Amino acid sequence: MHRPIYLDNHATTPVDERVLAAMLPYFGEHFGNPASINHVYGWEAEAAVKKSREILAEAINATPEEIVFTSGATEANNLAIKGVAEAYFQKGQHIITVATEHSAVLDPCQYLQTLGFEITILPVQKDGLIDLTDLEKAFRPDTILVSVMAANNEIGVLQPLAEIGAICREHDVIFHTDAAQAIGKIPLDVQAMQIDLMSLTAHKVYGPKGIGALYVRRRNPRVKLAPQQHGGGHERGMRSGTLYTPQIVGFGKAVEIALQTQATENQRLTQLRQRLWEILSQLEGVYLNGHPTQRLAGNLNISVEGVDGAALMLGLQPVMAVSSGSACSSATTAPSHVLTALGHSEQLAYASVRFGIGRFNTAEEIERVAEHTISTIQSLRKQKTLV
């Protein structure tokens, strides 16, 4: 029995064999605790952690000391948002974010509202980009944080980070970005983009699950964070807990590989995405969600008129593994908050498909996926007219 073609690389990616090979020695031979400074086992682990910290720092033009390891981007987002809120609440209690953010940003903001903070949620334009004029107007004297994701997990849209960073710096407000989907896929530079906090994760870039990081600016300006996890003072006191050395090694290796192939891989993925859209767009009533070019190379998100969303997904499942929206909210029956933020009706929001094309997908697979998607849509539309 053939497994479906995997096209859900925004939900997670398979661990690259080279990443797994780098990790394996740190489960057995080099099993030491990096905090054990009195013997060789600890030194080996500490050296491996240091190397990965340096790789991640270089990837975003930071210093190794500014990389704080976490269990993933969700924890990094919580540490960034709640940590700033607690550290700066005397300066102000107003936070700005965006309607299309991941729930790992929106939910902490909603939690802070219960504590008395005020949250401004910016709308997006029909292409998924924020209006920078709206951002400018949202600032108040008591604004302490702006959180805007780098690359959207559903529609792949890339927000203008450098422009946002410049505006935040003008207003002397901390700028946080959730870059879980962006690391290794687009150029990131915390200095040029004037980013103060950046959330990262490994499992979107062919690394292991369960490991992430938060970049925390140390100078110009120095960002303060109240820790959300106490006990041992690890990671400059910002995130206590024994470091998971094999996962950290895998994270570093995954990012290293991604950076080496970023330009050529983006070109290949863009060609595959454009080919898929070229075929699917021949059908009437099939709409592209998000900006046509300012998006992740491997992302194609469409909405389909005249079909039931559940029936569409059921029809696609034998051939492909895709998502009807954010994997993190796929257990709910509510339409995607990202797609409704674009102005879609509930029908179009439900009848959406996210194709996440990745490193191991081939041109032949894309042709097969396109053919089956078209036949499924045509079949469902025909059944509807016969009823």
The pLDDT of residue 210: 97
Q: What b-and-e string marks burial along 234-269, b requiring 16 or more CB atoms within 10 Å of the CB? A: bbeebbeeebbbbbbbbbbbbbbbbbeebeebeebb
Position 387 confidence tier, pLDDT thresholds 50, 70, 90 = low
Distance from C-alpha of 134 to C-alpha of 152, rounded to nearest angstrom:
19
The highest-level CATH class for domain 5-13+262-386 is: alpha beta
Distance CA 354, CA 363 (A): 18
- Choosing from 166, 311, 328, 374, which is the catalytic residue? 328
For the stretch 250-297, pLDDT in tens is 999 999 999 999 999 999 999 999 999 999 999 999 999 999 999 999
Average pLDDT, the chain: 95
55: tokens are: 């790789």
Catalytic annotation present for 168 = no
Domain boundaries, the chain: 5-13+262-386, 17-259
pLDDT-wise least confident of 130-134, 201-205, 232-236, 283-287:
232-236
Report pTM.
0.95
Q: Under DSSP, is residue 285 helix (H, G, I), strand (E, B) or coil?
A: coil
Tens digit of pLDDT for each residue in 139-152?
Answer: 999 999 999 999 99
**CATH dotted code for 17-259:** 3.40.640.10
316: pLDDT confidence band, cut at 50, 70 and 90? very high
Instruction: Inform me whether the pLDDT recorded for 366 exceeds 70.
Output: yes
pLDDT at 325 exceeding the cut of 80: no
User: What DSSP assignment string belongs to 207-264?
Assistant: S-TT-EEEEE--SSSPPP---SS-SS-TGGGTS-S---HHHHHHHHHHHHHHHHTHHH
> How far apart, in whole angstroms, are the C-alpha atoms of residue 74 and residue 76?
5
17-259 matches 5-13+262-386 in CATH topology: no
Answer for the pair 250, 19: CB distance below 8 angstroms, yes or no: yes
| pLDDT for 326 beyond 80 | no
Contact assessment for residue 198 and residue 179, using Cβ atoms and an 8 Å cutoff? yes
Q: What phi, psi does 146 have (nearest 5°)?
A: -120, 130
Question: pLDDT band at residue 238, thresholds of 50, 70 and 90?
Answer: confident
Average pLDDT rounded to a whole number, residues 44-53: 97
- C-alpha atoms less than 13 angstroms from C-alpha of 369 in its C-beta half-sphere: 28
Query: Tens digits of per-residue pLDDT, 99-152?
Result: 999 999 999 999 999 999 999 999 999 999 999 999 999 999 999 999 999 999
Non-local (6+) Cβ contacts of 329 within 8 A are: 103, 336, 337
